[in-house]
């Protein structure tokens, strides 16, 4: 039987949640929400994407001035300029992380992507990000629709390059729980180094399976779940933080540091 193991909660309300149609957070909004996320015990707060949205730079700086316990995270694509902007935004953060995403579905664009170029770029950008913060998370964007062999190669390269957290997302919300479980299991079977890093999942709710998909990997080894307050997020949203935390609480093998009594307050705030 698995011992009582901690599951980290990575909240993306302030970044992915703002992609919800009609949702917009001002700088004071983000500061207030971040303070409540820290209060309830969220481990990592992803604030924005400064490489794409200029307003996120000031918002990340403002949040950094008040949050001291939770790790603050900025998203970046695999471009040097985006990583530089993320790092600059996080300079004042007590604890910081850069989340670099790389497209790993080689046939998802109009032209076939070159895998050697992708691997070379992700290696370079992870190494670059390590100069700015201790925790670099690497996200295998569109992992569930890509080739498993290349995914394994990319994950291994990311680990060898210094990523401490590997995120396997169902970016477009197309995976069924059994398929997502099998994908994660194959990764663990083929990449022994996964035992030495934190594996995260980021599941979208297009098929209504975000919460279930987020939890199926726990017995394989997943130790971080990315979610959002009230399930906010692009298209049909992300895994709902309340549902994820409650289901983990009811499981005898896992726990989170979230204060369940305070969740209704932040859920009501963001309604």
23, two tokens: 């949702």
Q: Over the stretch 138-184, which tens digit does the pLDDT of each residue have?
A: 999 999 999 999 999 999 999 999 999 999 999 999 999 999 999 99
Q: How many other C-beta atoms can be found within 10 angstroms of the C-beta atom of residue 269?
A: 13
pLDDT at 3: 55
Q: Is residue 1 part of a domain?
A: no
- Over residues 185-192, mean pLDDT: 98
Q: Is residue 227 part of a domain?
A: yes
Paired strand residues for 240: 228
R_g (Cα) of the chain, nearest Å: 17
Q: Is residue 4 part of a domain?
A: no
Q: What is the domain range of residue 13?
A: 9-269
Indicate which CATH number applies to the domain containing 23.
3.20.20.70
Q: Is residue 18 part of a domain?
A: yes
Q: Is residue 3 part of a domain?
A: no
- Counting the structural domains of the chain, the total is 1
Q: Is residue 238 part of a domain?
A: yes
Q: What is the mean pLDDT of the chain?
A: 95
Q: Which positions ≥6 away from 67 have C-beta within 8 Å?
A: 34, 35, 38, 45, 93, 94
Quote the distance between the C-alpha of residue 128 and its chain's center: 19
pLDDT at 110: 53
In this structure, what are the phi and psi dihedrals at residue 45, rounded to the nearest 5 degrees?
-115, 115
pLDDT at 224: 98
- Over residues 251-258, mean pLDDT: 93
Helix, strand, coil % over all residues of the chain, rounded to 5: 45, 20, 35
pLDDT at 252: 84
Q: How many other C-beta atoms can be found within 10 angstroms of the C-beta atom of residue 149?
A: 11
Residue 87 in contact with residue 80, Cβ under 8 Å?
no
Query: pTM to 2 decimals?
Result: 0.96
Stated as kind and residue range, the H or E segment containing 13 is: none
Residue 20 has pLDDT above 80, yes or no: yes
Distance CA 61, CA 89 (A): 6
Q: Is residue 78 part of a domain?
A: yes
Distance CA 127, CA 115 (A): 18
Q: Is residue 2 part of a domain?
A: no
Distance CA 116, CA 84 (A): 23
Paired strand residues for 10: 44, 226
Residue 173 in contact with residue 134, Cβ under 8 Å?
no
Q: Over the stretch 197-249, which tens digit does the pLDDT of each residue have?
A: 999 999 999 999 999 999 999 999 999 999 999 999 999 999 999 999 999 99
């Amino acid at each position: 039987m698995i011992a009582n193991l901690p599951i980290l909660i990575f909240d993306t309300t302030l970044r992915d949640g703002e992609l919800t149609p009609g949702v917009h957070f001002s700088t004071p909004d983000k500061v207030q929400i971040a303070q409540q996320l820290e209060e309830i015990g969220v481990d990592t707060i992803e604030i924005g994407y400064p490489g794409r949205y200029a307003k996120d730079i000031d918002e990340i700086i403002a949040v950094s001035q008040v949050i001291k316990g939770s790790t603050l995270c900025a998203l970046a694509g695999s471009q040097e300029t985006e990583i530089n902007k993320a790092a600059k935004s996080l300079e004042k953060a007590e604890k910081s992380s850069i989340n670099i995403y790389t497209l790993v579905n080689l046939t998802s664009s109009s032209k076939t992507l070159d895998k050697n170029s992708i691997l070379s770029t992700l290696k370079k950008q992870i190494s670059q990000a390590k100069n700015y913060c201790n925790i670099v998370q690497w996200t295998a964007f569109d992992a569930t629709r890509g080739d498993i062999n290349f995914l394994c190669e990319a994950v291994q390269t990311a680990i060898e390059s210094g990523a401490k957290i590997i995120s396997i997302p169902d970016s477009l919300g197309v995976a069924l729980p059994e398929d997502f479980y099998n994908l994660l299991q194959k990764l663990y079977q083929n990449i022994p180094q996964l035992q030495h890093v934190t594996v995260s999942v980021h599941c979208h709710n297009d098929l209504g399976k975000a919460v279930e998909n987020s939890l199926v990997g726990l017995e394989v080894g997943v130790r971080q779940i990315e979610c959002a307050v009230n399930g906010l997020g692009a298209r049909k949203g992300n895994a709902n933080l309340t549902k994820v935390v409650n289901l983990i609480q009811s499981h005898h093998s896992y726990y989170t540091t979230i204060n369940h009594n305070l969740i209704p307050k932040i859920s009501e705030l963001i309604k």
